[in-house]
Amino acid sequence: AQSGGGGNAPSAEESREFAKRVFAELGVTDIAALQKMDWAKLNAANNAVAAKMNPPMGPGGPTAPPGTARPRVGAGPTVDGRIITMRSFFDAAPEISKDIPILFGSVSEEGNSMSSRPTEAEWLASLTRNYGEAKAKALAAALRKAHPAKSIRTLSYMCGGSGLNTLNIRNSVTRMATLKYKQQAAPAYAWYFSWPSPMLEDAGAWHTAELAFCFDNTRRCDQGTGNGPEAQALAKKMATAWANFAKTGNPSQPGLKWEPFEPARCRTMVFDNKCGMMDDPEGDARKLLLA
């Protein structure tokens, strides 16, 4: 499970109401009319109805406890009670897979927008709009303390006021791994990819950056990885971990033991030029979003 998950899908009743309103928005009464509809018109109607029915999309913090947040309707999966019977890894970990080990993880700059280059004042203003002045200052201070060498641009990708950011997704990863741990069956393993690409200034480790490494494809993706000695060495370690996990359910390898996740310490494998286990990476900052 890469970059979080555990969505809060709507109920059958909520989705039926959404569908009724989409029909009304388009002025049609049957499925056949929808099938003939231009996709752009249908998509626009979906978005318009969802905007009216859903609460405003906030920055993702504070995160409501599992089972208490209001689902967001839209053109997506529905907890219908027949095919999808629960909100997996939102309310609980599913029983059907309790004996299957799972890897949960994310990257260090999940909110990367290549075109975004905020000044420090602009970054703080964005945080303040979304979290309030006190929490904005606390978030900025926590990130600066943890990463004194990172630029403001890179720090803004870790938490810049949008829903897709490192800290929100670290909370999601931690929640999902904790739900898996509570089953007391197959283990959960957590990872954090923080290798900064040498090819793109201040880009850090953007959303999906780990894929070239866990599949040992840094040469194929050299425009993003550089495919230098450091990239190749990291790819060998990550691909070995993923292959071992697929084969045995345990991602450990000689010289790089990977401990299972447990919520007391949130032990996590960090993938960078120096790999190893760490207690709860970004823990101090991510917990600010839960307060």
pLDDT surpasses 90 at 164: no
CB of 190 within 8 A of CB of 21? no
Share of the chain above pLDDT 90, in %: 76
List, for residues 9-68, the tens digit of each pLDDT value: 899 999 999 999 999 999 999 999 999 999 999 999 999 999 999 876 555 444 555 445
DSSP state of 95: G
Least confident of 156-165, 175-184, 188-197: 156-165
pLDDT surpasses 80 at 138: yes
Q: CATH 3.40.50.1820 in the chain: give the residue spans.
A: 102-288
pLDDT (mean) for 255-279: 97
pLDDT surpasses 50 at 268: yes
DSSP state of 163: S
The pLDDT assigned to 291 comes to: 81
- The phi and psi torsions of 279 (rounded to 5 degrees) equal -80, 115
pLDDT surpasses 50 at 245: yes
Domain 102-288 has CATH 3.40.50.1820: yes
**Cα 93 from Cα 98, distance rounded (Å):** 7
Share of the chain above pLDDT 70, in %: 94
SS3 per-residue string spanning 162-178: CCCCHHHHHHHHHHHHH
Least confident of 93-107, 120-134, 249-263: 120-134
Q: Could you tell me how many helices (H) and strands (E) the chain has, helices first?
A: 11, 4
Maximum mean pLDDT: which of 73-82, 85-94, 265-274: 265-274
| pTM, to two decimals | 0.88
List, for residues 187-212, the tens digit of each pLDDT value: 999 999 999 999 988 889 989 999 99
